[in-house]
């Protein structure tokens, strides 16, 4: 009898106490995650931007390794345990790392594109090669938007291209690289390192999507190897520092990139390879690597006065808008970040116009910043409105049939972009719309 009592006191009761604490902690965590998921879904933030995890609840054992593995988790929640099952609790925060799938010991996670509600157009690829032999795709256009992933893809695509170039064929160029973002820049360095005949064209500036980030925006990356450079050990940096590093690499290596050159058409050459027509020249090349991203051509409002020079489609530097009346149009993260960063500049008057009644496509942090700025009077928030006309000094906005005319020195339209799907199909590349499939 005494032995039994001693056993209970020494072993069983402490074990039960630890178990009770664990259960209490798990329930509190589950409740918190459920509340966050409910808040995100009620706000309409249900659609991941690109690649994201699909979790099989029958296989998930609730170990939480996927949650711990997500590199974004420390900054804003992406995954969480609810009733001992992993769930995507903040879908719009997911940017496609894929670390969750690698970490899961029960093979419960599949990485997919699109959802049942919103399809995502993805070119069909086989080892980075499209349905048009000799045309390859790497980076965001293929569905991988993360900087590190894009760099790795640029390297792997080049490995396939270099192998293909060993076969017979001739043209003035071995390879034409389209785009100088992370994937295209990496591919250009590798092409230079391997001494093949290449040319890189970029319709805007070095950095691609990174160049289009607002000034000072934090860029999350990870150690990665660059051709001709070696391992780059960035973990957290800013847009400016990352671009400064790439520009330094460009100077030191002498890699050649033709800026402000936009590809207009790609056609098969009867003698082999492809003819690529740009706004500046024409090229005959054996291979093409498309690293052009998914932003495509900026979507315009189609209203009178939109051709005025004061109107742009991305924010480069908030400081240039000091002491100006500025209009920002849009409801996504780019629009909200532009509005808040410009509003922080001295003397600015910022109006944010959005056609819907709520910001359903923006992250919670950005929504909160806008709400705070609107409450303090830094931003004039006009929801459920549409721009109807620009003039040199004003802009007219429609709000429920009422015309509002306000002073305007500059406007930034963040209405998204027209995806390059049409260009791909015209080139002959097969594109598939993914609805929650790998």
**Range with lowest mean pLDDT among 46-55, 153-162, 261-270, 376-385:** 46-55
Reported confidence tier of residue 182, pLDDT bands at 50, 70, 90:
confident
Over the stretch 280-296, which tens digit does the pLDDT of each residue have? 999 999 999 999 876 66
**Helix H or strand E segment including 20:** helix 13-42
Mean pLDDT score, 358-375: 86
Mean pLDDT score, 404-425: 87
Spacing of C-alpha 408 from chain mean position: 30
Rounded CA gap, 274 and 282, in Å? 10
Tokens of 189: 């360095």
List of long-range contacts for 77-83, beta carbons under 8 Å, 24+ apart: 77/33, 77/36, 79/53, 80/29, 80/32, 80/33, 80/36, 80/37, 81/26, 81/29, 81/30, 81/33, 82/30, 82/33, 82/34, 82/37, 83/30
Tokens of 147: 């900087």
**Helix H or strand E segment including 121:** strand 120-123
* Pair 301, 413: CB distance under 8 Å: yes
Rounded CA gap, 369 and 344, in Å? 11
User: Does pLDDT of 64 surpass 70?
Assistant: yes
From residue 11, give the alpha-carbon distance in Å to each of 4, 8, 17.
10, 6, 10
User: Does pLDDT of 349 surpass 70?
Assistant: yes
Over the stretch 213-234, which tens digit does the pLDDT of each residue have? 656 666 655 677 888 888 877 7
Rounded CA gap, 203 and 178, in Å? 9
Which residues, at least 6 apart from 318, have a Cβ–Cβ distance to it below 8 Å?
A: 214, 215, 338, 341, 342, 344, 345
pTM over 0.85: no
Question: Angle CA(430)–CA(435)–CA(438) in degrees, nearest 5?
Answer: 75
**Range with lowest mean pLDDT among 13-22, 25-34, 163-172:** 13-22
Reported confidence tier of residue 438, pLDDT bands at 50, 70, 90:
low
Which residues, at least 6 apart from 418, have a Cβ–Cβ distance to it below 8 Å?
A: 296, 297, 298, 299
User: Can you tell me whether residue 391 is helix, strand or coil?
Assistant: coil
Reported confidence tier of residue 12, pLDDT bands at 50, 70, 90:
low
**What whole-number percentage of the chain has pLDDT above 90?**
43
């Amino acid at each position: 009898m005494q032995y039994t009592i001693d056993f209970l006191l020494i072993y069983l009761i402490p074990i039960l106490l630890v178990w009770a604490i664990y259960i209490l902690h798990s329930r509190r965590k589950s409740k918190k995650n459920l509340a966050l998921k409910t808040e995100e879904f009620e706000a309409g933030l249900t659609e991941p931007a690109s690649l994201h995890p699909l979790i099989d609840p029958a296989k998930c054992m609730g170990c939480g390794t996927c949650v711990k593995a997500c590199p974004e988790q420390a900054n804003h929640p992406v995954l969480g345990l609810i009733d001992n099952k992993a769930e995507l609790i903040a879908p719009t925060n997911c940017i496609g790392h894929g670390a969750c799938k690698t970490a899961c010991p029960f093979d419960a996670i599949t990485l997919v594109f699109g959802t049942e509600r919103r399809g995502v157009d993805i070119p069909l690829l086989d080892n980075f090669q499209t349905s048009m032999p000799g045309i390859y795709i790497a980076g965001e256009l293929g569905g991988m938007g993360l900087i590190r992933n894009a760099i790795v893809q640029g390297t792997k695509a080049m490995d396939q291209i270099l192998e293909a170039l060993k076969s017979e064929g001739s043209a003035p160029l071995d390879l034409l690289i389209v785009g100088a973002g992370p994937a295209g820049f990496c591919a250009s360095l590798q092409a230079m390192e391997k001494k093949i005949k290449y040319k890189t064209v970029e319709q805007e500036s070095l950095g691609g999507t990174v160049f289009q980030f607002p000034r000072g925006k934090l860029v999350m990356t990870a150690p990665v190897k660059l051709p001709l450079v070696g391992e780059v050990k960035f973990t957290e940096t800013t847009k400016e520092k990352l671009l400064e590093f790439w520009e330094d690499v460009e100077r030191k290596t002498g890699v050649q990139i033709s800026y402000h050159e936009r590809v207009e058409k790609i056609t098969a050459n009867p003698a082999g390879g492809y003819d690529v027509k740009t706004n500046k020249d024409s090229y005959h090349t054996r291979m093409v690597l498309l690293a052009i991203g998914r932003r495509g051509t900026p979507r315009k409002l189609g209203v009178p006065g939109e051709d005025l020079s004061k109107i742009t489609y991305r924010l480069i530097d908030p400081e240039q808008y000091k002491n100006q009346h500025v209009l920002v149009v849009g409801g996504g993260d780019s629009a909200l970040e532009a509005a808040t960063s410009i509003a922080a500049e001295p003397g600015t008057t910022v109006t944010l116009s959005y056609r819907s009644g709520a910001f359903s496509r923006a992250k919670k942090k950005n929504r909160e910043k806008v709400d705070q700025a609107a409450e303090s009077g830094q931003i004039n928030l006009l929801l459920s409105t549409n721009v109807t006309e620009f003039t040199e000094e004003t802009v007219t906005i429609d709000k429920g049939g009422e015309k509002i005319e306000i002073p305007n020195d500059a406007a930034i339209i963040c209405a998204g972009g027209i995806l390059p799907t049409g260009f791909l199909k015209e080139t002959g590349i097969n594109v598939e719309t993914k609805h929650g499939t790998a």
